[in-house]
Chain A
Amino acid sequence: MTTTEHGAIRLAGLRKRYGPVLAVDGVDLLVAPGEMVALLGPNGAGKSTTVDMLLGLTRPDEGQARIFGRSPREAVAAGEVGAMLQDGTLLEDATVAETVGLVAALHRSPLPVAEALRRAGVTELAGRRCGKLSGGQQQRVRFAVAVVCDPDLLVLDEPTVGMDVETRRSFWRSMREFSDSGRTVLFATHYLEEAEEFADRVVLMRSGRVAADGSVAEVRATVSGRTLRAVVPGMQQDALVALPGVTAAELRGDRVTMACADSDMALRALLAAHPAAHDIEIAAVGLEEAFLALTGDSDGDGKHRVGGDKETVR
């Protein structure tokens, strides 16, 4: 099969500049058919621009994007790609069934509208006007719009924004159902637990580049070391960082959180210097810490944390 040779997605040296900002700075990515890939990164990392170039909505300055060995436009025309865009809205004056039917009418071999609605779990909303739906319901309708062409590749940009926990869970269930049939899914997200739980592979972007690429375990492993948490009465920030084996530390009241290259050494030194330390926990870094470590210290603009993204990184 040709699809296996070409990969579902092949991005080669993609670059895009918006005025002085280099939004995407040389992204290479090969996704095999059947993979479920999470595209992670803070705001402004270039996720959406990359997705736009992949779908042929934005022309790259350099490099090229291929979907199943074809240009994005050809793949779209062949109905091989379905997408939920970040800013894609629905027609406010049309019902759910009409909106999905409209898109279905444009494709050559679409799913029956009822089937697309069922897959997205919006069958009972079919007769409602899109403008009257809640944010989470609209997202699910947009999912129905994305799958109605029966695509082999599904691209989702922030798919679960605005969904409550229950909706989100059922959304991922339908996504699983979709990918279990051997099809490829690429989703961009802020939510680390979604990537951790659902993706076979995580691609982490920072400042327009791929900062890490691999399975969740591999990405986690690129950030070596452990996190040490403890309650230490009367602790000073300077003294914390001075401990051997500690790479970074945070002090809140008496609670300390230390990123350790060598947690054993750090713990011995901590206990020797501060016998009163208690409630000690040592944990391997999670995807969240890896995310913060890999995306946090940016080059040159003086920010050391993801800043505005912190709230969304839960």
Chain B
Amino acid sequence: MNPAYLALEVKRVVRGARFMIFTVVFPVVIYLIDTNLFGGNGETYPDGVAIAPSLMVRMAAFGAMSAALFTGARVALERSSGWQRQLRLTPMSGSSYLLSKAVVSMLVALPTILLVTLVGVIFEHVRLSPGSGCRSCSGCGWGSSRSCSSGW
């Protein structure tokens, strides 16, 4: 896998307006609306879980999955369009092709996860311990590469 190739792949995914709307704007907006409707002032679910932090992790996961599906669907598209055949005429192996798609999906999921978390922390005053913060972000990121494979 090489950085120049990854950079171009990331650029292709991120550039689309649809990608921006569904994976970046949508989760942030929905998060703000939902927390303000249901989760203001540290309200909790009946079982005692605080709404604002839990919604934050959910929307981050939503964005990450949608980013991953955007990337994963491309594999199918590139297969049907014949681009994969062209790539088979390069030194890149089939497995590194798939691996780079998984890496790309994690990379493009990252901004969404960070943005939703940031909005949660700044506007909704969500406080997570550093440990659970890391776990939630890396969980979303890792999960996104799994969802990407569902596009294969």
Interface positions of A (Cβ within 8 A of B): 55-57, 76-79, 81-83, 85, 87-94, 98, 101-103, 105-108, 145, 149
What is the interface size of chain B, counting residues whose CB is below 8 A from a CB of the partner? 21
Q: Is B5 an interface residue (CB 8 A)?
A: yes
Q: Is B4 an interface residue (CB 8 A)?
A: yes
Supposing A85-B86, A88-B83, A93-B12 touch, asked if A102 and B91 sit within 8 A by C-beta, the answer is no
Minimum CB distance partner of B90 in chain A: A106
B residues in contact with A78, CB < 8 Å: 91
A93-B2 in contact (CB<8A): no
B8-A105 in contact (CB<8A): yes
B89-A102 in contact (CB<8A): no
A91-B82 in contact (CB<8A): no
Q: Is B81 an interface residue (CB 8 A)?
A: yes
Supposing A76-B90, A106-B2, A106-B90 touch, asked if A87 and B83 sit within 8 A by C-beta, the answer is no
Minimum CB distance partner of A91 in chain B: B83
B residues in contact with A101, CB < 8 Å: 4, 8
A residues in contact with B89, CB < 8 Å: 55, 57, 76, 81-83, 85
A residues in contact with B86, CB < 8 Å: 85, 88-89, 103, 145
Min CB–CB distance A133 → chain B (angstroms):
15
CA distance A170 to B12 in the complex (A): 31
Q: Which of A55, A88, A107, A145 contacts B91 (CB 8 A)?
A: A107
Q: Which 9 residue pairs are nearest across A and B when measured between Cβ atoms?
A: A105-B4, A106-B90, A77-B91, A89-B81, A105-B5, A87-B82, A88-B86, A88-B82, A102-B8
B90-A107 in contact (CB<8A): yes
A57-B85 in contact (CB<8A): yes
CA distance A56 to B89 in the complex (A): 9
A93-B83 in contact (CB<8A): no
Minimum CB distance partner of A98 in chain B: B8
Q: Is B130 an interface residue (CB 8 A)?
A: no
CA distance A42 to B126 in the complex (A): 70
Q: Is B87 an interface residue (CB 8 A)?
A: yes
Per-residue 0/1 for B31-66: is the Cβ within 8 Å of any A Cβ (1 yes, 0 no)? 000000000000000000000000000000000000
Supposing A57-B88, A89-B82, A91-B83 touch, asked if A106 and B12 sit within 8 A by C-beta, the answer is no
Min CB–CB distance A230 → chain B (angstroms):
49
Interface residues of B in 57-84 (CB under 8 A from A): 78, 81-83
